[in-house]
Amino acid sequence: MRAATAAVSQSALSLLAGLEWRVRHAVTNSISGDYASVFRGRGMEFDQVVKYEWGDDPRDIDWNVTARLGELYRKRFVEERDLSVVLVFEDSLGLQFGSDRATRRETLLKAASVLMLISAANKDRVSVLHVSPTGHWLERALPSRRDTLRVASLLLSQPLPSLTGAAHCNIPWTLLRRLATKRSVVLWFGPHLPAPMPQGWRELQSRYQVIGLRADDAWDDQLPENTRFVAFDPLSGRVTTIDTSSAAERAAHARWSRAREGHFLHLFAHAADRITVRTTEDPLGALVRYFHRMSVSVRAAR
């Protein structure tokens, strides 16, 4: 594991300053309760015994206190936050594509920064595991806004992996299992291209709340019509000519798109465990909508 030694860029600090102002406004006005209901924390802990009221869960009745006082009392529980949020950023070459406003990488980096700022505002403990084709580093932020900003700026300042080097990342899941406490929230940012399932994946999902984040480009859904161009494929290391007027080319792309979507759904079977951000949209807006949608589902299930 290499040290996180990249110099913090001025552009990273400027981006974080703008994001922090917007995140603070969102947390104050709309997102804080939704975030807390979706990112659950370690569970529930006993608070105190209170009088039973109509509509309370009868399973919470404390029969010893009820027998002693002659009227119904129940145990009250509160959510035990003590939440650890671990961001796994898979900085593979597959992220370095963007047909319009931003690349997948730029979109996911901004989404990761937004989530770190939201977590810091909720006083959660934040860690970042950055993985590139050349190695990885892990940085734990101290439980403070200032240190979370430091780690976020470090992530934003990571240089682009070389297109001429290794193409794939080797995520050290065993390291994560050793260092992350049980019931941590693990956010996996990456291209999520078809690949073998990580070893021990289902066990990891049972131990942590694992959420996959993917950035989608318009070309992921459909190639532009009647276009011919030369492109470098960093995953294969080859230059290739793409002709979108070809029926065979379009069919091959459609198969790839279905395989990519199928792999994502296979890794993250539940809707609450998948977040997709378009490269043309604001990551903060996409995340606010996700937290609101999922918190409504959580409340409906209770």
Per-residue pLDDT of the chain (302 residues; tens, 9 = 90+): 666 656 677 888 888 988 988 998 888 777 877 887 788 654 555 557 888 887 777 878 889 988 989 999 888 765 555 688 999 999 999 999 998 889 999 999 999 999 999 998 888 889 999 999 999 999 998 878 889 999 999 999 999 999 888 888 999 999 998 888 888 999 999 999 999 999 999 999 999 999 999 999 999 999 998 999 888 787 777 888 889 999 999 999 999 999 999 999 999 999 999 999 999 999 999 999 999 888 887 666 65
Q: For residues 222 and 225, what is the distance between their CA atoms, to the nearest angstrom? A: 9
10-33+81-301 belongs to which CATH class? alpha beta
pLDDT for the residue numbered 81: 54
Predicted TM-score (pTM) of this structure = 0.84
pLDDT for the residue numbered 238: 83
- Residue 84 near residue 184, CB atoms below 8 Å: yes
pLDDT for the residue numbered 301: 60
Q: For residues 244 and 43, what is the distance between their CA atoms, to the nearest angstrom? A: 51
Domain ranges of the chain: 10-33+81-301, 45-80
Beta-ladder partners of 185: 85, 209
- Residue 206 near residue 274, CB atoms below 8 Å: no
